[in-house]
Structure 1
Amino acid sequence: MLRNAVHLATLGVRQTRVTNCLPRLPLILQNNPQNAINVQVARDYAKGKDKKKEKGGKGKPGGKVEINEQQLREILNLDGLNSQMQKSVMQMKDDFVKHLSLRSTSGAIDTLRIKVDGQEHELQELAQISRKNPKTIIVNMIGFPQTIPDVLKAIEKSGMNLNPQQDGTTLFIPIPKVTKEHRENLSKNAKALFVKYRDAIRGVQNEHIRKLKKQPELGKDDAFAAQAQVTAIADRFISEADKLLASKQKELLGE
């Protein structure tokens, strides 16, 4: 190979590829500078194969769960389940009417929950409530003056945008104007109430599922099917509550 390299140099070849003899080549050519070889070192790199990652397909959602009331009645108190969940929806609807009106009314103030010494009472149980004029509500606390701080705290946290003024044992509550900020606050309070009652419905659901799991005579397949049906019932009531929320927020925001 060395002879071939020198031979190529004498023939005037300007470029060649020399591999194993590179360290010794300059010594051979130093006496013949006129025939210097422009040596280029080439290196071949093996190209690795691209690895393609297979992406798993997303699972398709399961179909609609069919509720077999007859079978459910045999293993749980279906009427009690429906009653508890329906109660949460109705309580939420009632709270929407009482506490989330654009105009604060004496009716909303009447049922405001006041926490006193660890127990809750409606404001109308602690005070005499009346209207001085269409723009002012009067709350007379002469019967339970010691609860005034608790009442003021409850009014502040009610989200009704009220700013009561105290004069002795009497509270004067101006009814605020309907502003964009007031509407948005009421809408947020509506969402908070929805979350509260949604969680209550889920609580009823989980309670009944726990009871199902404690029935050893119930086969795995039957237990799984029953749990899915209980969850579907809860979803139905939550969907109903969600529609009420959407309607209430639309009303409050003036959309």
Structure 2
Amino acid sequence: MSDDIDIDTDDLQRRMDGALQALRQEFASLRTGRASATMVEPIMVDAYGAMTPINQVGTVNVPEPRMVTISIWDKSLVGKAEKAIRESGLGINPVIDGTTIRLPIPELNEERRRELAKVAGSYAESARVAIRNVRRDGMDQLKKAKSAGMGEDDQKLWQTEIQEMTDAHIKSVDDALEHKQAEIMQV
């Protein structure tokens, strides 16, 4: 490969890894019928005039398989936290007990499971698109390098490397989706 012209594959790798990490976080927020502390992570509470993650206004626990509890530290934030949970789209009705908010996780019915599997599929497709966009950026770098004097053999080697990196990340997305859909559909 050429010494004077170099493609930043580390940056491409980092950006593709970032798309995978974002997908895993989105998958963690999907409800699968059993309790998980990660399902409330995306919820933001209006605390003291600033939007704050719910895990920074209280302690999140999973005392049993179908229950999440949040012990709010400041009594004045209990109502705001409850409102944030109701508006989050989790489909869970919080139960307030003093400064503790209990979130009973209902059993998912077949229709809701299929719906969640479709949502997981759309998350995976977004991740695939992000990875393909990174590949496109890499290919654009190659075109610029070719016009700057990169040889055709070097260009083919770089194209192959970028495509292999893309294929590996797309496969990781597909594997993660398959695992998440199986988890969702499990009764």
- In the superposition, the TM-score normalised over structure 1's length comes to 0.54
Find the counterpart in structure 1 of residue 20 from structure 2. 89
Where does residue 230 of structure 1 map in the other structure? 162
Equivalent position to 1:175, from 100, 105, 113: 105
Shift of 1:213: 3.4
Residue from 121, 132, 141 that aligns with 1:202? 132
Of structures 1 and 2, the larger Rg is shown by: 1
CA distance in 1, matches of 2:87, 2:172: 32
Q: Deviations over 1:111-167 (max 9, x none)?
A: 2343769x875421133334576544333445372753444322x1x4xx4232457
Q: Which fold has the larger relative contact order, with Cα–Cα distance below 8 Å and residues 6 or more apart in sequence?
A: 2
Residues 132, 219 of structure 1: CA spacing in aligned structure 2 closer, same or farther, 3 A cutoff?
closer
- Aligned 8 A contact 1:72 1:78 in 2: no
Aligned to 2:87: 153
Equivalent position to 1:123, from 15, 29, 54: 54
CA separation of 1:227 and 1:252: change in aligned 2, threshold 3 A = same
Shift of 1:241: 1.1
* Residue in structure 1 matched with residue 68 of structure 2 by the alignment: 137
Counterpart in the other structure of 1:103: 33
Give the structure 2 partner of residue 213 of structure 1.
143
SS at match of 1:75: coil
Q: Partner letter of residue 198 of structure 1?
A: R
Residue 246 of structure 1: CA displacement? 2.0
What's the secondary structure of 1:105's corresponding residue? coil
Measured in 2, the distance between the counterparts of 1:86 and 1:236 equals: 11
- Offset from partner CA, 1:183-212 (integer Å, 9 cap, x none): 223312321221232222123223333333
Relative to structure 1, the CA distance from residue 134 to residue 252 in structure 2 (aligned partners, 3 Å threshold; closer, same or farther) is closer
Distance apart, 1:242 and its partner CA: 1.0
SS of corresponding position for 1:102: coil
Question: How far apart, CA to CA, are the structure 1 residues paired with 2:3 and 2:80?
Answer: 48
Alignment partner of 1:218: what SS?
coil
CA distance in 1, matches of 2:59, 2:103: 13
Partner residue, 1:253: 185
| Offset of residue 76 of structure 1 | 1.0
Report the number of matched residues: 180
- RMSD of Structure 2 on Structure 1 (CA): 3.8
SS at match of 2:69: strand
Give the match for residue 184 of structure 1.
114
3-state SS, counterpart of residue 76 of structure 1: coil
CA distance in structure 2 between the aligned counterparts of 1:218 and 1:228, rounded to whole angstroms:
19
Change in Cα spacing, 1:180 to 1:80, as seen in structure 2 (3 Å) is same
The residue number in structure 2 matching 1:76 is 7
Q: Is the 8 Å Cα contact of residues 136 and 172 (structure 1) preserved in structure 2?
A: yes
- TM-superposition CA deviations, 1:212-243 (whole Å, max 9, x none): 33334135846863446424421331122112
